[in-house]
Structure 1
Amino acid sequence: MEVGAMETTVLVTGATSGLGLAMAAALAEAGARVAVSGRSGERAREVAAGLPGAFGVELDVRDERSVSRAVEQAWSRLGRIDLLVNNAGLGMRTVNPRFMTEPRGFWEVPVEGFRQVVETNLTGYFLVAREVTPRMLAAGGGRIVNIAVSEATMSRAGFVPYGPSRAGSESLSRVMAADLRGTGVTVNLLLPGGATVTGMLPDAPAGHRFLEPEVMGPPIVWLASPAAAAVHDERIVAAEFEQWLRERVRRGTAPE
């Protein structure tokens, strides 16, 4: 699938590894011009060098000034940003490296670790979208895709602060969609549909297989394409994307 005859421009946050890199690669290979962002500008440039038509941008989503500089740089080089993919995030390993085998009660979580995860996974989504949205509105439209996780993660024992941060970012996305309804700027949620090999999880136990990050490729390319122009306030599970798309076609809400 290609993103369309007109060159689509994309900013992906947290795009130097894991889900972000998989989505940036899929979009670039489909013909989009992609700004690959990460906290390390050097790493972002190295990754972008391996993708067709991509370039690297230093972006710390927790820092308002960094966000402002990065969005300005990306918009200037791309001429516009058609699609923002809010993906940058920190996982449970940052506060408890053994969270899968030795979960901690919320009262044992370091305060600073809690703040860092929430500032990245929730405040970061807000700051980047806040910077990009007025530009999209002035340009007459745009698309925002916020990366989410399974609902079980939001209530699982030992998952503070990751679970609450992702629940907050999902709620933020729904409110963003409500605020932007009818404006020409669409907002959707995309999640893998299971534990994924991203570096945030320990190795899979014997007999268990994690999803590969590439599962995010087909849905994010579709969400950047003309076929998704009217898609708004949807929660799309990447592992079930083909089935979801077939159902849309069956209902007559999507072109074949």
Structure 2
Amino acid sequence: MGARETDVSGVRVLLTGGTSGLGLGMVRAVVAGGASVVLTGRDANRARRVAERETAAGPGAATGIAMDVRDEASVADGVAAARASMGGIDVLVNNAGIGMRTVNPRFLTEPRPFYEVTPAGFTDLMATNVTGYFLVARAVVPDMVAAGRGTVVNVSINEETMRRRGFMPYGPSRAATDAMSHVMAADLAGTGVDVHLLLPGGATVTGMIPDDLPEEARGGLLEPTVMGHAIRWLCSSASAGRTDLRVVARDFVPPGDTSPA
């Protein structure tokens, strides 16, 4: 992959849900490329510890803050803190989310029908995965529009998973964020603000995978590092002017790139 496509030196990134899993994989990728990152988590101390560790690895820098994406006031405070820390936000990565384990810890081996999902579990997952993306983008994007530039990356999943048996409400939540991302891109057309979807391209080694997953199935899981090349390109100037892309990280090759990986 050519250096120009992945140069993110000085880019200012707000990445939600950055303390573990795919979020942490993306934080490491952009910090390694020289970006400044504010990563969020519900636990402020954990977010700070992760940020300190990633900053030590450099050459970029990370700051960890608390943010509950379900809560409008928490989002407003977190976005304000991110702006103050970095002097602005060039890229928003909407990644904070919860998975099927929260409503069914054995969702892969013992899938349950939708009518066994509790209303409380349904509501909390949708508030995190759907309303959370909306609230953070709503707080960040106006300044991007005023500046005439910026990027929003909404992390998603395979379309097959959105309709999979026993995946209520996680599948529908990601179908909703997919649709919302396309609407965001349409609403922002001509403003200089680009919006994209990014998905790993398969099940990944994260806390969303149930503990009882058979060992033979674990061998096929993708590592969170799979997101690295794609997120660095999406955060870089090389992606500017393109919008409404659906990028599969596992298969990602930068448009026009003919250099060796």
Instruction: Judge same fold: TM > 0.5, yes or no.
Output: yes
Q: Call closer, same or farther: CA 1:5–1:89 in 2, change over 3 Å.
A: closer
State whether structure 2 residue 162 is matched by structure 1 residue 168: no
Query: What is the Cα deviation at residue 206 of structure 1?
Result: 3.5
Structure 1 partner of 2:223: 212
State whether structure 2 residue 23 is matched by structure 1 residue 20: yes
Task: Give the aligned residue type for 1:26.
Answer: A
Instruction: Please give the alpha-carbon distance, in whole angstroms, between the structure 2 residues aligned to 1:141 and 1:153.
Output: 33
State whether structure 2 residue 129 is matched by structure 1 residue 127: no
SS at match of 1:54: strand
Structure 1 partner of 2:149: 141
Instruction: Please give the alpha-carbon distance, in whole angstroms, between the structure 2 residues aligned to 1:240 and 1:17.
Output: 22
Instruction: Please give the alpha-carbon distance, in whole angstroms, between the structure 2 residues aligned to 1:202 and 1:161.
Output: 16
State whether structure 2 residue 40 is matched by structure 1 residue 37: yes
Structure 1 partner of 2:68: 60
Q: Which runs of 4+ in 1 moved over 6 A?
A: none
Query: What is the Cα deviation at residue 5 of structure 1?
Result: 7.1
Q: Superposition pairs for residues 194-233 of structure 1, below 5 Å?
A: 194-202=202-210, 204-208=213-217, 209-233=220-244
Instruction: Please give the alpha-carbon distance, in whole angstroms, between the structure 1 residues aligned to 2:207 and 2:9.
Output: 34
Structure 2 partner of 1:249: 256
SS at match of 1:156: coil
User: TM-score of the superposition, structure 2-length normalised?
Assistant: 0.91
SS at match of 2:48: helix
Query: What is the Cα deviation at residue 77 of structure 1?
Result: 1.1
Instruction: Please give the alpha-carbon distance, in whole angstroms, between the structure 1 residues aligned to 2:239 and 2:162.
Output: 28
Query: What is the Cα deviation at residue 205 of structure 1?
Result: 2.6
Q: Indicate if the aligned counterparts of 2:31 and 2:62 stay in contact, CA closer than 8 A.
A: yes
Query: What is the Cα deviation at residue 134 of structure 1?
Result: 0.5
Q: Call closer, same or farther: CA 1:54–1:5 in 2, change over 3 Å.
A: closer
Structure 2 partner of 1:115: 123
- Pairs aligned (count): 247
**1:108-164 per-position Cα deviation (integer Å, ceiling 9, x unaligned):** 000000001000000000000000000111222110000000011111110000001
Q: Which runs of 5+ in 2 are unaligned?
A: 56-60
User: TM-score of the superposition, structure 1-length normalised?
Assistant: 0.93
Structure 2 partner of 1:9: 12
**1:60-112 per-position Cα deviation (integer Å, ceiling 9, x unaligned):** 00000000000000011101100000000000000000111111110000000
Query: What is the Cα deviation at residue 6 of structure 1?
Result: 5.5
RMSD (Å), alpha carbons: 1.5
Structure 2 partner of 1:182: 190
Query: What is the Cα deviation at residue 4 of structure 1?
Result: 3.6
- Report 1 or 2 for greater relative contact order, CA contacts < 8 Å, sequence distance ≥ 6: 2
Instruction: Please give the alpha-carbon distance, in whole angstroms, between the structure 2 residues aligned to 1:28 and 1:6.
Output: 9
SS at match of 2:65: strand
